[in-house]
Amino acid sequence: MRPLEGITVVSLEHAIAAPFATRQLADLGARVIKVERPGAGDFARAYDERVNGLASHFVWTNRSKESIALDLKSEDGVEALRRLIAKADVLVQNLAPGATARMGFDGPTLAERYPQLIVCEISGFGQDGPDRDRKAYDLLIQAESGFLSVTGTPGDVVKAGCSIADIAAGMYAYTNILAGLIERGRTGKGRHIDVSMLEAMAEWMSFPLYYAFDGAPQPPRSGAAHATIYPYGPFDTADGVVLFGIQNEREWASFCEKVLRLPTVATNPLFATNSARSANRAALAETIAAVLGKQPTAEVIEALDSAKIANAPVNDMAGLWSHRQLKARRRWREVGTQAGAVPALLPPGQADARMDPVPAPGEHTAKILAEIGMSVEADA
């Protein structure tokens, strides 16, 4: 039995944040009923066609769910949703702020009608405050939260290569829902959870935030290198690039002795502490380049391993698909889709997660409506 078997989640969701949160609940065994618009369904289904004609974001965040198509502008659609919520343990929504309230599903009303219900609302800026009604997309929140100001090169800001703000919000929704279920098990009462993408990213930005404490300069944009620890980042070899990081003075001494083969560099006052190395990184970069630039990548990695210095190749997606560790730990499974089976990774920390198919739009409408005493014709 999986941890959340017997828990029913109804989700008014689209895009990434809420679907990612609810997919993780489904991974743990919850029944997740995804409410979609009749016809095209969740607009994320049309983001691209990279997975046998299906959208990459959608395949990632929507396995193991049931899809019901409801017209929430119709009386029958709203009635169907009302009956679903009455039987649910959790309601998740990331519609525009105020959208659920206009249908009579605002937090206070739900708390009064269904005191055991856990309600999680995900939005860009939260359910109140001066920015409540502003549109918020992942990239915009990356900018608003200061993430772009510390990411990129000195000349160019660069966004994250994945939907990091949506992922952050989805993770906080997921963990808060789990906490809410534990709390309800003790008190019998549900709770209202208000997750803001901005607040999720602000939490994740706390290192640069504190680094700039009391008006101090913030970390500079430093490409793939670490902004405040050096050497830590990519370095050229004779035939490629290797990425490694020095975390403490013991590692620094070992690096100088076994990789650079210049032990006196370790005690040079310009490089003797991390703060000194970071302040004098241009000079140190020349010293490192003079050594590593003459050696093939394989030899550099061997020397780094011998010195017990953490290192990594700069993998592309093909490298991640074929990563030996994921294969050795048997992390790959297959999930069904309307376009055939596709590979999928087990969630971190789980060996027996639910890995059911990604639903087609409205695939389970008739079945779910029958459970609540309605029919497809009634909602049409």
Q: At what angle do helices 17-27 and 164-187 cross, to 10 degrees?
A: 50
Written as one letter, the residue type at 36 is E
Residue 91, both tokens: 């309601």
CA 361 to chain centre: 24
In whole angstroms, what separates CA 34 from the centre of its chain? 19
Residues in the chain: 380
Determine contact, residues 184/116, Cβ cutoff 8 Å.
Answer: yes
Residue 33, classed as helix, strand or coil, is strand
**Closest alpha carbon to 284 in 269, 300, 305, 299:** 269
DSSP 8-state assignment for residue 215: G
What are the residue numbers of the active site? Answer: 166
Sign, Cα dihedral of 163, 167, 170, 172:
negative
- For residues 380 and 376, what is the distance between their CA atoms, to the nearest angstrom? 6
Q: Are 346 and 323 in contact (CB under 8 A)?
A: no
CA distance 344 to 322: 13
Alpha helices in the chain (DSSP H): 17-27, 56-61, 75-87, 99-102, 107-113, 138-144, 164-187, 197-204, 206-211, 249-258, 274-279, 281-292, 297-306, 317-321, 324-328, 365-371, 376-379
Amino acid at 204: W
